[in-house]
């Protein structure tokens, strides 16, 4: 983030310097050739119609309009707030995971809308016969609509802003998305983003009558690591455990750091036996990791509780609570085990 603000300051400095130099050069042309000869003499103002202000504005505009690119940013959503992406030649927006810009919104159709870039550089939005329609501002999209910088696109419960931006703007959005959506220690999704994704996954599983499992995980031995070697070693163990969990889950689920040395994850489409098998792989990966920091070996383990979606009335809170109860049983039975 510091690098971003340094680059922004440098860009503004160059723009101001260039405008100032241009103004000085143009003022010397527009002024009277009579130089002041005594104190109190005034330099005459630039001649009216010299074009100085217009030229300065054009220069500032040209400096600001550097390599603009089009991108989308989710500005209102239950699960995707802050998500953004550069637009390609054809960008399909929808709920299907194979869409170019996939949204976690049950009121968005599988393939909801399409944005196409024309040979003239315009971006054309069209609705793909979606169930709930597409709006730009208050206008329902019928046929094709040319998008303008700053347009807000309404799909289901989601609002997306269409923007033209330079590399600095894009870098800024990347930084903000990382800060808002990522746990700084482990690199896993933030708890807020995880909770939103879990809620969507549960509703999706209920509507599609598919299974879903939640894992609650608590590391064993972190307090002993902190007491023996310091909190930097405990933080290292937590960070590496988060990395191991993400590696085992891969694209099959999503995890986050619940807090401290606790983690949680969900697995869409997994039954209780298959989810327990994944949990056992996580447990074994942590146990056999052979972590080491500054030449000191660290041997944390992990206890895991697993719960599965049972009926359509199950909420995310109820599901997490059941997984948490299973976790406590795992701890009571001696730790370093999986319980469902």
Mean pLDDT of the region 247-265: 94
- Separation of alpha carbons 229 and 298, rounded Å: 10
178 pLDDT band (50/70/90 cuts)?
A: confident
Top-confidence residue, 15 or 225: 225
DSSP bridge partners of 161: 73, 152
Which of 227, 234, 274 shows the shortest CA–CA distance to 252? 274
- Separation of alpha carbons 249 and 98, rounded Å: 19
Predicted TM-score (pTM) above 0.85: no
Q: Which distant-in-sequence residues (6+ apart) come within 8 Å of 230 by Cβ?
A: none
Give pLDDT, residue 58: 55
Taking 90 as the threshold, does the pLDDT of residue 306 lie above it? Answer: yes
CATH topology of 69-179 equal to that of 191-333? Answer: no
- What are the angstrom distances between the C-alpha of 47 and each of 33, 60, 224, 293? 12, 22, 80, 72
Structural domain spans, the chain = 69-179, 191-333
Give pLDDT, residue 204: 85
155 pLDDT band (50/70/90 cuts)?
A: very high
* Residue keyed to tokens 């489409």: 269
- Separation of alpha carbons 118 and 2, rounded Å: 37
Mean pLDDT of the region 220-233: 96
Taking 80 as the threshold, does the pLDDT of residue 327 lie above it? Answer: yes
DSSP bridge partners of 94: 102
Taking 50 as the threshold, does the pLDDT of residue 3 lie above it? Answer: no
Top-confidence residue, 49 or 205: 205
- Separation of alpha carbons 118 and 335, rounded Å: 60
Give pLDDT, residue 261: 97
Taking 60 as the threshold, does the pLDDT of residue 165 lie above it? Answer: yes
Taking 80 as the threshold, does the pLDDT of residue 264 lie above it? Answer: yes
Taking 70 as the threshold, does the pLDDT of residue 129 lie above it? Answer: yes
Q: Are the C-beta atoms of residues 338 and 280 closer than 8 Å to each other?
A: yes
pLDDT tens-digit profile of 11-48? Answer: 445 444 444 444 444 444 444 444 444 444 443 444 44
What angle, 0 to 180 degrees and rounded to 10, lies between the N-to-C axes of helices 191-208 and 167-181?
Answer: 80
pLDDT tens-digit profile of 180-202? Answer: 778 999 999 999 889 988 988 89
Mean pLDDT of the chain: 83
Give pLDDT, residue 311: 65
Top-confidence residue, 245 or 44: 245
Handedness of CA 219, 225, 226, 231 (dihedral sign): negative
- Separation of alpha carbons 203 and 296, rounded Å: 46
Taking 50 as the threshold, does the pLDDT of residue 89 lie above it? Answer: yes
**What CATH superfamily is the domain 191-333?**
Reverse transcriptase/Diguanylate cyclase domain (3.30.70.270)
Burial (CB < 10 A; 0-12, 13-18, 19+), residue 120, is exposed
Mean pLDDT of the region 140-145: 95
Element (DSSP H or E) covering residue 264: strand 262-268
81 pLDDT band (50/70/90 cuts)?
A: confident
Q: Which fold has domain 69-179?
A: Tumour Suppressor Smad4 (2.60.200)
∠ CA 241-242-247, rounded to 5°? 95
pLDDT tens-digit profile of 38-74? Answer: 444 443 444 444 455 666 565 555 445 446 789 898 9
């Amino acid at each position: 983030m510091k690098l971003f603000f340094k680059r922004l300051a440098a860009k503004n400095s160059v723009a101001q310097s260039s405008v100032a130099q241009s103004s000085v050069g143009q003022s010397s042309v527009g002024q009277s050739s009579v130089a002041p000869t005594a104190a109190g003499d005034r330099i005459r103002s630039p001649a009216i119609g010299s074009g100085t202000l217009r030229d300065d504005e054009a220069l500032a505009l040209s400096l600001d309009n550097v390599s603009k690119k089009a991108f989308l940013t989710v500005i209102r959503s239950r699960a995707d707030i802050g998500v953004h992406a550069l637009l390609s030649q054809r960008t399909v927006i929808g709920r299907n995971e194979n869409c170019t810009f996939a949204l976690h919104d049950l009121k968005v159709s599988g393939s909801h809308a399409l944005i196409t870039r024309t040979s003239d550089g315009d971006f054309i939005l069209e609705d793909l016969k979606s169930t709930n329609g597409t709006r730009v501002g208050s206008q329902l999209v019928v046929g094709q609509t040319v998008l303008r910088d700053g347009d807000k696109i309404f799909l289901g419960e989601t609002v997306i802003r269409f923007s033209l931006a330079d590399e600095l703007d894009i870098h800024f959005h990347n930084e903000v998305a990382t800060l808002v959506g990522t746990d700084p220690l482990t690199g896993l999704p933030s708890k807020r983003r995880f909770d939103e994704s879990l809620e969507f996954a549960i509703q999706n599983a209920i509507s599609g009558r598919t299974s879903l499992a939640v894992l609650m995980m608590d590391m064993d031995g972190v307090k002993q690591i902190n007491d023996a070697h310091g909190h930097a070693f405990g933080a290292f163990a937590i960070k590496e455990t988060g990395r191991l969990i993400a590696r085992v889950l891969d694209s099959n689920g999503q995890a986050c750091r619940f807090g401290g040395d606790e983690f949680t994850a969900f697995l869409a489409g997994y039954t209780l036996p298959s989810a327990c098998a994944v949990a056992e792989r996580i447990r074994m990966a942590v146990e056999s990791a052979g972590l080491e920091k500054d030449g000191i070996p660290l041997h944390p383990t992990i206890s895991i509780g697993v719960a599965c979606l049972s009926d359509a009335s199950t909420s995310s809170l109820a599901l997490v609570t059941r997984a948490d109860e299973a976790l406590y049983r795992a701890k009571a039975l001696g730790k370093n085990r999986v319980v469902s």
